[in-house]
């Protein structure tokens, strides 16, 4: 994997961000009353599981407020160092709406993939919002 843009939509209270085939992996779960720094820690812990526990060091920084349509949320930066892989940098955007977590993240290998795509991907993340359901017309 050299880069990835992922959308994690509508994670319900008590559910993990990822679903894995390995039921033995204890994934952290989302709680609808999480504070911004707790969401940051949830994603950080989940990324460690994604890259392989014991094989990755993941850290976050620069937690800042961000609006996603009508919803207040946060953005922050993420770094991951993975055994036998390139270093990764990334950007995460997250907000809670209707007691569910919505998350968009970009991670890319440093320097080339991250540096090449970061500005474009950050703009995509900042544009995330919920659409109102369409009402059928008769």
What is the pLDDT confidence band of residue 115, given thresholds at 50, 70 and 90?
confident
Give the residue numbers spanning the domain of 43: 3-126
Enumerate residues 6+ apart whose C-beta is below 8 A from 116: 108
Q: What pLDDT, on a 0 to 100 scale, did the predictor assign at position 65? A: 96
Tens digit of each residue's pLDDT (9 = 90 or more) over 25-78: 688 999 999 999 999 999 999 988 887 777 889 999 999 999 999 999 999 999
112 within a domain of the structure (yes/no): yes
103 within a domain of the structure (yes/no): yes
Q: Assess whether the previous peptide bond of 111 is cis (omega < 30° from 0).
A: yes
Mean pLDDT of the chain: 88
Q: What pLDDT, on a 0 to 100 scale, did the predictor assign at position 134? A: 66
20 within a domain of the structure (yes/no): yes
61 within a domain of the structure (yes/no): yes
Tens digit of each residue's pLDDT (9 = 90 or more) over 78-99: 999 888 888 999 999 999 999 9
Instruction: Look at the pTM and tell me if it is higher than 0.75.
Output: yes
132 within a domain of the structure (yes/no): no
93 within a domain of the structure (yes/no): yes
Q: How far apart are CA 79 and CA 109, in angstroms?
A: 10
CATH number of residue 29's parent domain:
3.40.1000.10
Total tally of structural domains belonging to the chain = 1
81 within a domain of the structure (yes/no): yes
17 within a domain of the structure (yes/no): yes
In 3-127, alpha helices (H): 36-51, 112-126
Helix (H, G, I), strand (E, B) or coil at 1: coil
């Amino acid at each position: 994997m050299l880069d990835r843009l992922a959308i994690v939509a509508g994670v319900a209270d008590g559910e993990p961000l990822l679903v894995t085939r390995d039921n033995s992996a204890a994934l952290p779960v989302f709680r609808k009353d999480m504070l911004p720094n707790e969401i940051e820690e949830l994603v950080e812990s989940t990324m460690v599981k994604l890259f392989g526990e014991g094989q990755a060091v993941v850290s976050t920084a620069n937690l800042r407020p961000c609006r996603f349509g009508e919803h207040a949320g946060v953005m922050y930066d993420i770094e991951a160092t993975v055994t036998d892989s390139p270093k990764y940098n990334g950007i995460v955007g997250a907000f809670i709406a209707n007691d569910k977590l919505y998350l968009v993240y970009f991670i890319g290998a440093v320097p080339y993939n991250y540096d090449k795509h970061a500005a474009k991907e950050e703009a995509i993340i900042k544009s995330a919002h919920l659409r109102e359901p369409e009402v059928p017309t008769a």
